[in-house]
Every structure is written in structure tokens, then in C-alpha cells.
Amino acid sequence: MISMNHIKTFFLLSILSGLAAVIGYSFGGIFGSTFALGIALLMNVVTYFYADKFVLALYRATPLPQEKYKEIYDIVADLSGHMNIPMPRLYLVPGNLPNAFATGRNPENAVVAVTEGIVQLLEPHEMRGVLAHELAHVKNRDILIATIAATLATCIAYLADMVRWSLFWGARGKDSENRGSGVGLLVIAMLTPFIAMIIQLAISRSREYAADETGAECCQDPLALASALRKLQGDLSNHVQRPPDTAHASIASLSIVYPFRGNGILNLFSTHPPLHKRIERLEKMAMLQQR
């Protein structure tokens, strides 16, 4: 079923594509756009194929012991069947920080990881809600969508850098008058990467809402995920509030809740919607199901 969150994602990706085309053509015509897109695509294709290995290694994740966590295996097998996707590989992340994430380039190569903390914190029905959310990311191919968004955003950033350096060295070419003034291009070069970042974050938040919706529909219990999110929200204050390094900050966007907090205006640039809004939406879904 196509929801408003899927439509919103398509719309935002279209805007990103348009931004990349406009800034690329205004600077270097078709060649400029193609060159920057090629570099961005190469970088993100590598990320797309090897991100799961990098993430699991960074978190020191190990395969989830089936004998000890048979209940989790049973839940995932049941949900995977309902979603008509292959059973993903399951991993365990050491540590008390309660969280979970999914990665992998497609449903056939998917990985779902849970932390020791979330296994200890949640009741079985709440864990089912969380796992349904993560499997929804797999079903909705959110890793692919995130890669496309990252490719376009990276392309825009490269083009903006090319414009700024070109203007700095005065090497814009003989037909520069036909492509707008230097001041106009400089404004475009300064603004478009920022706009692209905002759109990329909006896409990420939209995919979180969509995964909440898909997961809640699959497990037929929106309140289970709402209860889990409420517990995770209450537990965040007991753990690390700042990422230990850039790598951990960048992959934290994969988690069901973003485990680190910024200050002031930094909270506006989040990869996840506010938890209270996600909980409110799930509670509304539950009310509609009861009618």
C-alpha cells in the first residue's frame, strides 16, 4: 500500500534530483552534472554494498545465539513470513544502550541487530513491535532509498565545491555570461548543499514514520511499538548523550531511536522524528483499528 510517507519520500527525492540538475547545468552544463554524479555514485555504490559489514564491525556485533534467544528468532521468522521477505541474519550488539537497527542492501542480504540493553529492557510484545519496525525498513528497501538520497546530496556538494573553486580561481569559461552572474552562482553554491542536507534529513524522518506504519500494520499492534518507544525515550537520559566519534554519529541514523542528543538548534537537524510524535501517530493507528 502506498502511504503519504512514501509519496513524500518520492517528492523529496525528486527535489534533490532537480537541485543536482540545476546546479550542475548552471556550472558545467551536461558534463558538469554527469561528472559530479559519477563520483557521487561510485562512492555510494561502495557504501551500499559494504555498509553492513562496516556497521557490524564498528559495533562489535556477533551472530545472535539461537539457543539463548529462540524467542527473538521465532518473532522474526513469523514477521518475515507476514511481510513476505526472507529471514534476515540476526546479530547481537554488546552494551547496555537499548537500541536496534537494520542494514543490508536488499531483503536477501538483510541484517537485523539488537543490543543487549534492548533485550533486557523490553517485554516480548514490545520487542515484537521493534523488530516489526526494523523488518519494515528491509521490506520498504530504505537502505536503497537512503543510498539514492546520499548520492544526490553528495553530487550537489561536489558541484557546489566545483563552483566555489572555479569562482575563486576565475576559471569559469568564456560563456559564463550565459550561465548567470558570478554572484548568482556563488549564492547557489552556498545554499544548495544546505538545502540538500535538509531534504535528506526529511527523507530519513519520512522513512522512520513509514517503517512505524508498516511495522505496526504487520504485527497488528501499534501500541506495542508505542510502548517500546516510550521506554526507549525514558532510558535515553541514562546513557551517552554525545557520539564518541564521527563514525558512530553517522551510522546511528540506522537505529530505531537516535541515541545521541544535540543542543538547541542541533535538534532541528535530526535523522529521526521526535519520539513523542511517533508515539502519537501509533496511538492514533490503534484507535482507528479499534473502530
List 93's β-bridge partners, or say none.
Answer: 115
Find the catalytic residue in 108, 123, 134, 177.
Answer: 134
Q: Per the structure block, which three cell numbers stand in for 14?
A: 525528486
Reply yes or no on whether 116 is catalytic: no
Q: Are strands 62-63 and 100-103 parallel, antiparallel or unpaired?
A: unpaired
- Rounded to whole angstroms, the Cα distance separating 10 from 207 reads 11
Classify residue 98 as exposed, middle or buried by CB count within 10 Å of its CB (0-12, 13-18, 19+): buried
Classify residue 31 as exposed, middle or buried by CB count within 10 Å of its CB (0-12, 13-18, 19+): exposed
Question: Is the distance from CB of 185 to CB of 179 less than 8 angstroms?
Answer: yes
Residues serving a catalytic function are 134
